[in-house]
Structure formats: C-alpha cells, structure tokens
Amino acid sequence: MFEFVWPWIWLLLPIPLIIWWLSERKRKQQALRAPLFLYWRSIQEQEGKSGKRFPWLTFLLWTLIISALSRPQWVGEAMELPATGRDLMLSIDISGSMEMPDMVIDNKEVDRLVAVKALLTDFIARRKGDRIGLILFGEQAYLQTPLTFDLETVQIMLDETTIGLAGSSRTAIGDGIGLAVKRLRERDANNRVLILLTDGQNNTGVLNPLQAAELAEHAGITIYTIGVGADEMIVKNRFFGNRRINPSLELDEETLIAVAEKTGGRYFRARDTKEMEQIYKIIDELEPVEDDYQSYRPIKALFYIPLALALLISLISILIRTLVSWRVNRTTSIHQASSKVEETHV
C-alpha cells in the first residue's frame, strides 16, 4: 500500500500558482499605466518570449520536491513474529582447551568448539521470536553479537568464531557471565536467559563466577551452565602405546553447579555430542518459544525517487539552456563578423 507520512505538505503545492498569478496581475496593472510597456511586451511576444506563459517546468520541479518532502513510502503486507519478549545470551568459552579433539560428529573426531558450533546451529534456528546475543571469553570477555532477532547474523558470527580471539592461555568465566548480565539487564524483557558453555575453570578476570552469579540473580537472569568435554580419551603414542586420560580434569563442575542454582537455572554435563544435543532440547522445554504473535508491516521509503527525478530534470534543463545560449552567441558572433566584412568591402 502506497502512502504519504506527511500528506499536509501538499498544501504548499499552490504556492507557484499564487506567485505567478500575482506577478501577472502586477504586469497587467503596469501595462495599463504605461502604454510604452504594451509596445515592449508586443515585441517580446513576437519574438516568442511572452511572460504570459505559465512556468510548467518550475511547477513540475516544485511538485516533485513536495512529493519527496511528504515522505512517500510503500507499506507491505502484515507479517507475524513470535512475541516472547525473551532475551537469550550465549556465552562461549574459546580458550585454548576448547581445541581438545574429544568429540565425535559423523564418526569423525572434532574439537570441542567445532562440536559446540555444530549443535548450536539447530538450537539457534529454533529460537525464532527470541532475541539472541553472543559473548566469547578466554583471557577476557567481549561481545561478538548484540541481542537481535536476526538469527542468521548470530549464526554467521558464531561460524566465524575461532580459538584465541579472546586469548587462549586462561579462562575468565566470571567476566563472561558479568558481560552477559550487563547486556541483558539493559533490556526490558519478560525473560532473560544466559547459557554458558565452558570446559575449564575460572583462573583470570575481574569477577569470579559466584560474584557474577549474584549480579545475575539481582537482575532476574536465569543461567544454564554446560560443562563441555569427555571423561575419557585414548591418546596414541608411538613409543609408549595407547593410554587413557581424562581430558576434563580442569572442569570446575562445583562452581558451575553453584552458579546455575543461585539463579534458578540448571547445570548440564556434555560429555559427547549426543548429550549436548539432548541438553539443548531440555533447555527448549524449560524456556519454550511462545505461540503468541505480533504483526508488523515492512516499510520502504520512496522519497529518493521524486528527488532524483527533480535533480535529473534540472540538470537536463540547465544543459539545454547552456547549449541554446552557446548556439545563439555563436550565431550572433558570425553575423557580427559578416557585417564587419561587408562594411570593409563597402
């Protein structure tokens, strides 16, 4: 549907008509008072320069400018979005330990970060109607993607995440929670949720995880913590043979449990991709997407079309006038030169 945001601007459209009418009236009054003026006007009319003609080009440009000022726009058909009012922040550990290849996808060993990214893809796609943001933390925490309905952008930024972007030698879990709390409490949402994924323990940063959890509790934010990493892994060695190790020795489950319980959330253990996939399904059940919908109409501004036409017509008009003036001047110069040659011969 086409509409104008400021239709009252069209009240200015008659201004050129009024100005022209007043100038014509004044001209006629001058003609009555001065017979010599009538003679001059008749000469102008004979030369095709009559002032009586209405300035259609000026009026056309004025109409286009009025059209642009009235802000024309195209309003599309109504579209529906789930209206949950939920803000969901993902805080992901990208320290060096997330490179541990103790996960399996399609019978292929992959590192922990690859597994997290692969399984979060489906989880993010199912959160239509929720605002989702992404925080990464290692030695420090930083915001990768602010809260947004644009799930495609969140997925792209997640895909571009690599180990070491936030420092790889240490893990600032508390700062990862603290930054998420800061971003979530700035929003007026019905439900605010943080999902924290890590494979280690807090060993750097300004805040410790329990202090950050207290801030989350006061802000009404629910935290779900996920401990990532297998309990057992076979390491192959040419000289000493195969040996079994626990790659998750540094995982601080006690702290992660305390953080989740303090905010009314839950702690989950993801030893493999199957458990991780099940965790996301459980979170979907705990924080379901609402069935209520709100509608909105996409709007496309069109003011630039009449504005561009006005500019184009003005440029063409100036170009034509310049060419005509150049031609007249050239013709006059030729005539003057011819006259001088004739006078010389005489």
Domain definitions of the chain by residue range: 2-76+300-345, 82-293
pLDDT of residue 193: 92
Question: 319, 196, 169: which is closest to 257 by C-alpha?
Answer: 196
pLDDT value, residue 50: 45
Contacts with 54 (C-beta within 8 Å, 6 or more apart), sequence order: 20
pLDDT on residue 302: 87
pLDDT of residue 257: 96
Place of tokens 């019905």: 190
- Is the model's pLDDT at 253 over the cut of 90? yes
Separation of alpha carbons 31 and 38, rounded Å: 6
Query: Residue 197: what pLDDT?
Result: 95
The residue among 29 and 170 whose pLDDT is bigger is: 170
117 CB-near residues (< 8 Å, 6+ apart): 158, 159, 161
pLDDT for residue 240: 61
pLDDT at 218: 93
What's the pLDDT at 239? 62
Q: Give CA separation, 178 vs 110, 158, 219, 253, in Å.
A: 30, 20, 11, 19
Using one digit for the tens of pLDDT, what is the confidence trace for 10-50?
Answer: 898 888 888 878 877 776 665 555 554 454 455 445 444 44
Q: Shortest CA distance to 74 belongs to which of 295, 282, 305, 237? A: 305
User: pLDDT of 22-31, one tens digit each?
Assistant: 877 776 665 5
Task: Tell whether domain 82-293 is in CATH 3.40.50.1970.
Answer: no
Pairwise pLDDT comparison (173 vs 84), residue with the higher score: 173
Query: Which pLDDT score, from 0 to 100, does residue 341 have?
Result: 58
**Quick one: pLDDT band at residue 158, thresholds 50, 70, 90?**
very high
Q: Look at residue 241 in the predicted model and tell me its pLDDT.
A: 61
Return the structure tokens found at 97: 């330990």
User: pLDDT tens across 203-230, in order?
Assistant: 998 999 999 999 999 999 999 999 999 8
**Angle 34-37-40 (CA atoms, 0-180°, nearest 5)?**
160
Query: pLDDT-derived band of residue 198, with 50, 70 and 90 as boundaries?
Result: very high
* Distance spanning both ends of the chain, measured CA to CA: 76
Give the pLDDT confidence score for residue 51 in this predicted structure.
47
| Rounded average pLDDT over 96-103 | 89
Identify whether the C-beta of residue 88 lies closer than 8 Å to the C-beta of residue 22: no
Mean pLDDT of 141-155: 92
Nearest partner of 247 among 100, 109, 55, 346, judged by Cα: 100
pLDDT at 48: 45
Mean per-residue pLDDT, 186-192? 75
How deeply is 203 buried, as exposed, middle or buried, from its count of CB atoms within 10 A (0-12, 13-18, 19+)?
Answer: middle
- Which percentage of the chain shows pLDDT scores above 90? 34
> What span, in angstroms and rounded, lies between the C-alpha atoms of 265 and 124?
19
The mean pLDDT of 84-108, rounded to a whole number, is 87
Least confident segment among 16-25, 291-300, 319-328:
291-300
241-261 average pLDDT score: 87
pLDDT band at 327 (very low <50, low <70, confident <90, very high): confident
If one compares 16 and 341, the residue with the highest pLDDT of the two is 16
DSSP H helical ranges for 146-249: 151-159, 173-185, 209-218
Q: What is the C-alpha to C-alpha distance for residues 270 and 130, in angstroms, rounded to an integer?
A: 24
Which band of pLDDT confidence, cut at 50, 70 and 90, is reported for residue 71? confident
pLDDT score, position 290: 57
Report the length, in residues, of the chain.
Answer: 346
Nearest-angstrom CA–CA distance, 84 and 293: 8
Helix (H, G, I), strand (E, B) or coil at 74: strand
